[in-house]
Amino acid sequence: MKRHPDNPLITPDILAPSAPGLKVLGAFNAGVTVYNNQIILLLRVAERCIEKPEFVSVPIYSFANDKSEFKIINFRKNDPDVFLKDTRGVVYKGIDYLSTLSTIRIARSNDGINFIVDNKPFIFPEVPEEKYGCEDARVQKFSNEFFITYSAVSQDGWATSLATTRDFKSLNRKGMIFYPLDKDVCLFPEKINGRYYALHRPHNEGFGKPSVWISSSDNLLDWGGHKCLIRPRENKWESQKIGAGGPPIKTDKGWLVIYHGKGDNSVYHLFTLLLDKSDPTKILSRADVPFFSPEKSYETNGFFPNVVFSNGHIEQPNGEIFIYYGACDETTNLLITTVDELLADVMK
């Protein structure tokens, strides 16, 4: 298992802002697939407004007549109706505005290392339930169609929506598939016993902590059969919450899952989990310790320090697995390993 020496592969400074007046803060947490012999990243791009001394500026989408329009609103800092909440937002006359907005952009590469990133978002708020942004895409191909799950953020919190594409040009929204609060949704690559399966992370709480759940569906739109699959354990790596990564990998031994834990001091780690091939609600093995933690300076220092987060990977023809991961909610990076190495990790 090794980090690519060119890490970080994508940094926010190489991205053009999507509109005048914006700056890019992060290009991270990519969904990954292959299309036309290229590796495609569906990058989460976080942007905020360029600061002006007398104003607080927020990027927003407004909705009218079923259309959305992007604009920047400038609030005078000395306006008595303006209330600065924290670095994340502003309240103006009782209405919340966010200072940062994420959309999903496509990056393309022939070698999986050098990427060209689109200047404009591919998935951005076009419907009210995405008003505050689109985040953390995961992608799974079924026949010739790519199914993309992503966090839809709005005044109601974060939910997960589904959209499809055949060409990474046009997008077909299929609507919300997991109501809020729910994120970290990955689809299994094939039907199992006639049903589609997904891992997801409702923000369940009470006597437990946010956990990884499994659900199933006949049509990828209506979901049921909900079951809590794994809960955070009492250890320093997953003491706060856990959530699934990219689509489970089919192996001889079972479904190999990569998931993240948020542990002590809000440090993120990556773990392996193995599920039964014919019944993915059954756990075969779960690694005791993470296989990957923040160590390099680009993982420990940045916008949100000590985060390594993966929501996409690719099996290469030579048996390698390219795990793309976001570091510090800022950059996109590559970890190279193999199925065998991950299986050894989960079964040791």
Comparison of 182 and 299: residue with beta carbon closer to its own copies:
182
Q: How far is the CB of 228 from its own copies (least distance, A)?
A: 5
Q: What phi and psi, each to the nearest 5 degrees, are found at residue 343?
A: -65, -40
| Number of residues in contact with its own copies under rule CB under 8 A | 43
Q: Which is nearer to its own copies, 208 or 319 (CB)?
A: 208
Q: Single out the residue of 61, 146, 223, 324 in contact with its own copies (rule: CB under 8 A).
A: 223
Question: 191 burial class (0-12, 13-18, 19+ CB within 10 angstroms)?
Answer: middle
**DSSP character string of 143-203:** TTEEEEEEEEEETTEEEEEEEEESSSSS-EEEEEEEPSSEEEEEE-SS-BTTBEEEEEEE-
**Is 7 or 216 the residue whose CB approaches its own copies more closely?**
216
Interatomic CA distance for residues 288 and 273, integer angstroms: 10
Tokens standing for residue 209 = 């902590």
Distance CA 187, CA 154 (A): 23
Binding residue (CB under 8 A) for its own copies from 111, 207, 252, 317: 207
Structure tokens at 185: 């949704």
Contact between 226 and its own copies by CB under 8 A: the answer reads yes
Which residue in the set 203, 233, 236, 282 belongs to the binding site for its own copies (CB under 8 A)?
203
Q: Which residues of 52-75 are buried (b: 16+ CB within 10 A; e: fewer)?
A: eeebbbbbbbeeeeeebebeeeeb
Among 208, 289, 301, 319, binds its own copies (CB under 8 A): 208
Tell which one of 222, 252, 317, 318 touches its own copies (CB under 8 A): 222
Q: How far apart are CA 43 and CA 115, in angstroms?
A: 11
38, 68, 109, 204: which one binds its own copies (CB under 8 A): 204
DSSP string, 101-112: EEEEEEEEESSS
Interacting stretch for its own copies, rule CB under 8 A, among 73-81, 133-141, 207-215, 262-270?
A: 207-215
**81 is an interface residue for its own copies by CB under 8 A:** no
**H or E element: which one contains 347?**
helix 339-347
Residue placing its CB nearer to its own copies in the complex, 188 or 325: 188
Say whether residue 205 binds its own copies (CB under 8 A). yes
Is residue 123 within 8 Å of 136, Cβ to Cβ? Answer: no
Strand partners, 78: none
Stretch touching its own copies by CB under 8 A, among 227-235, 240-248, 251-259, 274-282: 227-235
- Neighbouring-strand partners of residue 323: 313, 335
Interface residue with its own copies among 4, 96, 284, 285 (CB under 8 A) is 96
Is residue 199 involved in binding its own copies (CB under 8 A)? no
- Residue from 215, 306, 310, 331 touching its own copies (CB under 8 A): that is 215
341 binds its own copies (CB under 8 A): no
Least distance from C-beta 97 to its own copies, angstroms? 9
Binding mask 233-272 for its own copies (x = CB under 8 A): -x--------------------------------------
**Which residues ranging from 127 to 186 are in contact with its own copies (CB under 8 A)?**
129, 132, 153-159, 175-182
Question: Which residue, among 103, 106, 112, has the nearest Cα to 42 in the 3D structure?
Answer: 106
Please give the residue ranges that form the binding site for its own copies (CB under 8 A): 94, 96, 129, 132, 153-159, 175-182, 200, 202-208, 211, 213, 215-218, 221-228, 231, 234
